[in-house]
Amino acid sequence: MKVQFTVILTALILTGCASAPPEEPENLCRIFEEKRDWYDAASDMRDKWGVPIQVPMAMMYQESSFKHDAVPPRDYILWIIPWGRVSSAYGYSQAKTATWDDYVRETGNSWSSRDDFEDAIDFMGWFISKSQTINGVSKWDAYAQYLNYHEGWGGYQRQTYRQKRWLMRTAERVKARASRYGAQLRQCEDELKRGWLWRLLF
């Protein structure tokens, strides 16, 4: 019984550590130094979709603050009675259920989960790549990519964001953060690419 309790406690502690947001979310180098597996996942996403790491990372910061179980605010009836959530968005990427299902169907990633970082950033790479294909938006254009992400491809085509000044301001913040993240990553990526054995010995 004691051994079983210890195993369960250890698993809970490890789960808590794995799912905790990074301690220094303003610095991409610090994020990846703290969570090396995140860098590996982000690098794989870049290789697979041709998407620069800083763009989905800046979007993810804005969407969920890197919280694995992030959900939208509750909706209320008469401003008092809780009535579900304002949307089905969930997890690191805040992907809506229908869009996530499209991703799973197109990629075959049937075991994916919105609260898994590797799956979430792969989803964002897929979405950003499709935004380029559908709407001609550069994968490097964090501003326009975020507008696609928020409004959907059809909404971007209809320019629904033009009636939402707050959203355009938010997209500017995402653009600025992506620029900072990109500059930071250029300073530390050589170190991040080195294996654990090299880091241990040198």
Taking the C-alpha atoms of residue 195 and residue 8, their distance in angstroms, rounded to an integer, is 31
Summarize the confidence of residues 152-158 as an average pLDDT.
98
Identity of the amino acid at 200 = L
Summarize the confidence of residues 48-60 as an average pLDDT.
99
Specify the higher pLDDT residue, 72 or 13: 72
Task: Name which of 175, 170, 137 is nearest 54 in CA terms.
Answer: 175
What's 2-201's CATH class? mainly alpha
Q: Where are the domains of the chain?
A: 2-201
Confidence band of 95 (pLDDT split at 50, 70, 90): very high
Taking the C-alpha atoms of residue 184 and residue 1, their distance in angstroms, rounded to an integer, is 48
Is the pLDDT assigned to residue 6 strictly greater than 70? no
Specify the higher pLDDT residue, 97 or 72: 97
pTM, to two decimals: 0.84
Summarize the confidence of residues 125-150 as an average pLDDT.
99
* 52 three-state secondary structure: coil
pLDDT value, residue 4: 54
Summarize the confidence of residues 135-141 as an average pLDDT.
99
Specify the higher pLDDT residue, 190 or 12: 190
pLDDT value, residue 159: 98
Is the pLDDT assigned to residue 128 strictly greater than 50? yes
pLDDT, the chain, mean: 86
Task: Name which of 144, 54, 150, 147 is nearest 96 in CA terms.
Answer: 150
Task: Name which of 51, 64, 52 is nearest 25 in CA terms.
Answer: 64
Q: Give every CB contact of residue 7 below 8 A, 6+ residues apart in sequence.
A: none
Summarize the confidence of residues 124-148 as an average pLDDT.
99
CA–CA distance from 99 to each of 28, 92, 124, 136 (Å)?
A: 27, 14, 11, 19
